[in-house]
Chains A and B, each alone.
Chain A
Amino acid sequence: MTDAITLTGVSKFFDPSRPVLDDMSLHVKQGQFICVVGVSGCGKSTLLNLIAGLETASMGSVDVPSGRASVMFQDPSLMPWLTARGNVELALRLRGVGRNERAAEAQRLLTLVNLADAGDKLPHQLSGGMKQRVALARALAQDREVLLMDEPFAALDAVTRDLLHDELERVWRETGRTIVFVTHNVREAARLGDRVILMTARGGKIAREWEIDVERPRLIESPAVSSLAGSVSSALRAELAKVSNV
Chain B
Amino acid sequence: MSKSPDGTAASDTRDLEHRLDALQLLPSGAVRRTPNWWSGVWPPAVAVLLLLTIWQTYCAIAQPRPDLYPSVFDVASAIGANWDSGRLPAALLTSLTRGGLGFVYAIILGTIIGFLLVEVPLLRRAFGPIISGLQVLPSVAWVPAAILWFGLTDATVYFVILMGAVPSIANGLVDGIRQVPSHIRRVGVVLGAGPVALHRYVLFPAALPGYLAGLRQGWAFAWRSLMAAEIIATGGKLGFGLGSLLQQNRELADLPGVLATVLTILALGIVIEVGVFTPIQRRVLLRRGLTEAR
Contacts and interface: CB of A to CB of B under 8 A. Distances in A.
Interface string B274-294: 000000000010011110000
Interface string A44-83: 0000000010100000000000001011010101011100
B235 interface: no
Interface stretch (A123-131, A177-185, A196-204): A123-131
A217 B9 contact: yes
A142 B25 contact: no
B190 A125 contact: no
Interface stretch (A101-109, A163-171, A232-240): A163-171
Nearest to A78: B187
B226 to A, nearest CB: 33
A160 interface: yes
A73 B6 CA distance: 28
A129 B20 contact: yes
B190 A219 contact: no
Describe B's contact surface by its main secondary structure: helix
B183 A75 contact: yes
Nearest to B193: A94
Interface stretch (A15-23, A28-36, A114-122, A187-195): A114-122
A222 B183 CA distance: 36
Contacts of A208: none
Given A126-B25, A163-B20, A216-B6, A170 B13 contact: yes
Contacts of B21: 114-115, 118, 127, 129-130
Interface stretch (B59-67, B83-91, B139-147, B201-209): B201-209
Contacts of A75: 183
Contacts of B9: 166, 217
A121 B25 contact: yes
Contacts of A81: 205-206, 208, 284, 287-288
Nearest to B202: A79
* Most A Cβ at <10 Å: residue of B184, B190, B290: B190
Contact of B24 (A73, A95, A115, A127): A127
Contacts of A115: 21
Contact of B16 (A91, A124, A163): A163
B201 A90 contact: yes
Contacts of A219: 1, 3
B151 to A, nearest CB: 46
A166 B10 contact: yes
Given A122-B289, A170-B10, A79 B26 contact: no
A138 interface: yes
Contact of A124 (B13, B20, B206, B288): B288
Contacts of A166: 1, 9-10, 13
A52 B17 contact: no
Contacts of A125: 25-26, 28, 31, 289
B186 A77 contact: yes
Contacts of B3: 217, 219, 222
B53 to A, nearest CB: 44
A215 to B, nearest CB: 8
Contacts of B191: 90-91, 94-95, 138, 142
Interface string B166-185: 00000000000000010110
Given A90-B201, A163-B16, A129 B287 contact: no
B33 interface: no
Interface string A204-226: 00000000000011010010000
Interface of B: 1, 3, 6, 9-10, 13-14, 16-18, 20-21, 24-26, 28, 31, 181, 183-184, 186-187, 189-193, 197, 201-202, 205-206, 208, 284, 287-290
27 contacts: A54-B186, A73-B187, A77-B181, A77-B183, A79-B184, A79-B187, A79-B202, A80-B289, A81-B205, A81-B288, A90-B191, A91-B191, A93-B201, A94-B193, A121-B28, A122-B288, A124-B288, A125-B26, A125-B31, A127-B25, A129-B21, A130-B21, A142-B191, A163-B20, A167-B17, A217-B3, A222-B3
Nearest 10 pairs of A and B residues by beta carbon: A124-B289, A127-B24, A166-B13, A80-B288, A125-B26, A77-B187, A77-B183, A163-B17, A71-B190, A94-B191
Interface of A: 52, 54, 68, 70-71, 73, 75, 77, 79-81, 90-91, 93-95, 114-115, 118, 121-127, 129-130, 138, 142, 159-160, 163, 166-167, 170, 216-217, 219, 222
